[in-house]
Structure 1
Amino acid sequence: MTAHLAEPIAADARAASRRRPALGVLRWEVRKLVAQWRTRSVLLAGAIAPVVVVFVMRGQSRPPKDSLFGRYALDNGFALALLILGFASQWVLPLLTAIVAGDIFASEDQQGTWKTVLTRSASRSRLFGAKVVAALGFAVLTLAVVAVSTTAASVLVVGHQPLTGLTGQVIPSSAALRLVSESWLSMLPATLGFTCLAILLSVWSRNAAVGIAAPVVLGMVMQMVGSLGGVEAIRPFLLTTPYEAWHGLMTAPQFIGPMKEGLLTCGLWCVATLAAAFVLLRRRDITGG
């Protein structure tokens, strides 16, 4: 009887011992991110910059009528939050997440610390997984900070009047707040896709500048390609297209087909870029540093 009881206990102990190194590597990567000035600066900018933008927009004499919800932005806080959302999705969100993801692997090359980090009883697979989880977690946190700061500042400064939707329907304040929140949440798949793209470029280039700047440049190129005529066949596969899917939430009736397609597109981008990054890292010779 004692032997039978001891077997599952021993198995649990072995499983726990296998899990601890992976969790330890992840904790180490998170601590490194927390200690970096750029990480704290990005989060601080994500919290403060939207407030500054709201006050600047509130002081304008004329609304930006050439953009979605721009004509209502000076009189409706929800419209202003959506206006900032449209601007942020163009290049701000890819930049904010790439600042960390584009450097998380390249920094080890630039500092010559690969041999050091791989001697902490951590395999390349576990180290890769820990860095990816840390970068993706930072992307989620950054998006949440920007979304909460933008929405709160817009509503508190401008107001929470009923919102006029894209098809002219009047949306009550409570429903408008929910839709604005869902619109910001819809930015998550594409933001994670750009995070994975920055990780791939960080591993491939071994240069933080490339890992940070290249995703933003590629995002702008995708936006320009997506705005051209005659590219309907490739437009759904661009990583920037899912950033526009929130428009379907603001119509009556709603259409969420683009959001479903965007979720699949971003998933494919994440899988492809992370797989390529992992292969590159596995084949890398780190004997030089």
Structure 2
Amino acid sequence: MTAVAVAPVTAVPVARGYRFEMVKLLAQWRIRLLVLACWLAPAVFVAAVSQQSDLPTDTLFGRWMNITGWAGPLVMLGFAGTYALPLLTSVVAGDVFAAEDRLGTWRYLLVAVRSYRRIFVSKALASLTVILVLVVGMAVSATVGGVVAVGGRPLVALDGQLLAPADAAGLVALAWICVLAPTLALAGVGLLGSVALGRSPMGLLLPAVVALAMGVAQLLPLPVAVRLALPSYAFIAWTGLFTTPAQAGPLLIGVAVSLVWAVAATALAYVLFMRRDFTNLSHDGVGRRALTVAAAPLAGLLVVTMGILALVTPSTGSGIDQNKVQQSVATAFAHLYRLQTQQLHRPDVTEAQLASTAACTKGDGLVEAEGPGNDWRCVVTWRLPGVTATGQAIYQLDVASDGQYVADGDGPKEVNGYFQVRTPTGDQPNPLWQFDGHIELLSKG
């Protein structure tokens, strides 16, 4: 009898599998629509809002949208971190494996590729590529829309400093790069949900649900260690870039925590995928065991991270205290006073000459001056060269749990009241009337 030689079965290379998965993703109408929306809608939105007299002043940098084009992409970034990016990761990463379950095409894909590992890697890389295209599109579109509509003028930072256009452009780009880390964390959660929950719609919704839960947690007066242990903190920690010096500590921790979550969630998805029994056509990954394997390690990671951060971070409690608020308000006031002086064509002064200080209380002094709240009141005092009397201005503060605050001028009207200032680029509101500020939660008070 003559022996018949059997050719060895080889798996399809990852590069070919990746191209195949990219073609499948981009062939979906909803993915094409998302790409088109992310590359066009932010520019239209930012350009339209920048031309309005009624600006989104309750949004960080929103009050500067009709003054400089660099404010638009930052407003869009705040919106994206809360709403858009979680939804994008749900649609892309949350459906990349579940789609095969709904269509019943696993057996054809396995026969074509002949490698569980390469299927997983190809799908993960393809979904990551599409998410990056969407995020880059939002950043570029919002920036172009703002700069074209208003111009690349200097941007007022969160400590009152005036950032040159080149510096503002670099910080805007860096801020968008930093939010890629929490986006990858949600993408990892999406891959995990897509593998573990199969054709169940919860797999598709999991990144959005997780992001919503973490976003609600960030609004609560949680201890600093708990806040930093959530990967969603990196969606708001980029604000620390817009102070001098940059508040890089919370941002670096937020990025590191997000990357750890991204690796852990993706690794769990890989383990579940490799253990799946594809010979049973009725099995699609749904089950208590899959949910336990998926959720328990991430919950453990959260607890361990909170414990480590509680030991190594200098702040306790909310991280917001009287000394931090006073220092931040006094610094921002001094910088903005110089800006107002320049706009009113008065003799220039330095921060050292002003020697501004702030005395802040909470709840009219009836409660301890720490923690978030809208009942903060600050009296700012400063001096002018050659003038014996000291100046005073009152501000009402609304301090959020994440350290962001809005200072609203409460007199005297000539200093921090509302009036228009004529500048070479057009009339602008008095810069001392209302301003946004930032308190670093990890700094020592």
TM-score by length of 1: 0.89
Query: Separation in 1 of the partners of 2:11 and 2:164?
Result: 49
Q: Structure 1 unaligned runs (5+)? A: 1-16
1:1-289 to structure 2, matched below 5 A, reads 21-207=13-199, 209-289=201-281
User: Residues 209 and 75 from structure 1, CA distance in 2 versus in 1: closer, same or farther, beyond 3 angstroms?
Assistant: farther
CA shift, 1:74, in A, is 2.1
For 1:36 and 1:276, locate their aligned partners in 2 and report how far apart those are by CA, in whole Å.
27
Which one-letter code corresponds to 2:179 in the other structure? Answer: M
Same amino acid, percent of matched pairs: 38
Q: Kindly indicate whether the alpha-carbon contact (under 8 Å) linking 1:194 and 1:215 is maintained by their aligned counterparts in 2.
A: yes
Using the alignment, how far apart are the partners of 1:199 and 1:191 within structure 2? Answer: 12
Three-state SS of the structure 2 residue aligned to 1:200 is helix
**Mapped partners of 2:127, 2:13: distance in 1:** 19
**Structure 1 position 262, deviation (Å):** 1.8
Q: 1:122 to 1:259 in 2, by over 3 A?
A: farther
SS of 1:68's partner is coil
Higher helix share: 1
Supply the distance in 2 between the matched residues of 1:249 and 1:242 (Cα, whole angstroms).
12
Determine the C-alpha separation between the residues in 2 that align with 1:271 and 1:192: 9
Runs of 4+ in 1 over 3 A off after TM superposition: 17-20
Map of 2:378 onto structure 1: none
User: By how many angstroms is 1:20 displaced?
Assistant: 5.8
Following superposition, the deviation at residue 163 of structure 1 comes to 0.6
Give the conservation status (yes or no) of the 8 Å contact 1:63–1:71: yes
What is the CA–CA distance in structure 2 between the aligned matches of 1:208 and 1:22, rounded to whole Å?
Answer: 28
Q: Contact 1:225 / 1:231 at 8 angstroms: preserved in 2?
A: no
Amino acid at match of 2:160: G
Residues 103 and 208, structure 1, Cα contact 8 Å, conserved in 2: no
Q: Structure 2: which 5+ runs fail to align?
A: 1-8, 282-445
The aligned amino acid for 1:160 is: G
Return the offset for 1:192: 1.0
Distance 1:121 1:85 in 2: 39
Comparing 100-109 with 24-33, greater Cα deviation is found at 24-33
CA distance in 2, matches of 1:42, 1:87: 16
Aligned-pair distance for 1:208?
6.5
**Contact (CA 8 Å) 2:12, 2:114: kept in 1 or not?**
no
1-structure distance, mates of 2:10, 2:136: 32
**CA RMSD, Structure 1 to Structure 2 (Å):** 1.8
Q: Distance in 2 between matches of 1:56 and 1:124?
A: 48
Conserved in 1, the CA contact under 8 Å of 2:157 and 2:243? yes
* Structure 1 counterpart SS, 2:169: helix
1:119 match: secondary structure:
helix
Q: Say whether the 8 Å CA contact 2:72–2:146 is kept in structure 1.
A: yes
Q: Following the alignment from structure 2 to structure 1, what is the Cα–Cα distance between the partners of residues 228 and 114?
A: 39
Deviates more, 1:17-26 or 1:199-208: 17-26
Higher relative contact order (CA 8 A, sep 6+): 1
Aligned to 2:317: none
Structure 2 distance, partners of 1:21, 1:214, is 31
Which residue in 1 is equivalent to 2:341? none
The offset of 1:263, in angstroms, is 2.2
Distance in 2, matches of 1:94 and 1:208, equals 18
Measured after TM superposition, the shift of residue 287 of structure 1 is 2.0
Q: Distance in 2 between matches of 1:240 and 1:102?
A: 18
* Partner SS state of residue 225, structure 2: coil
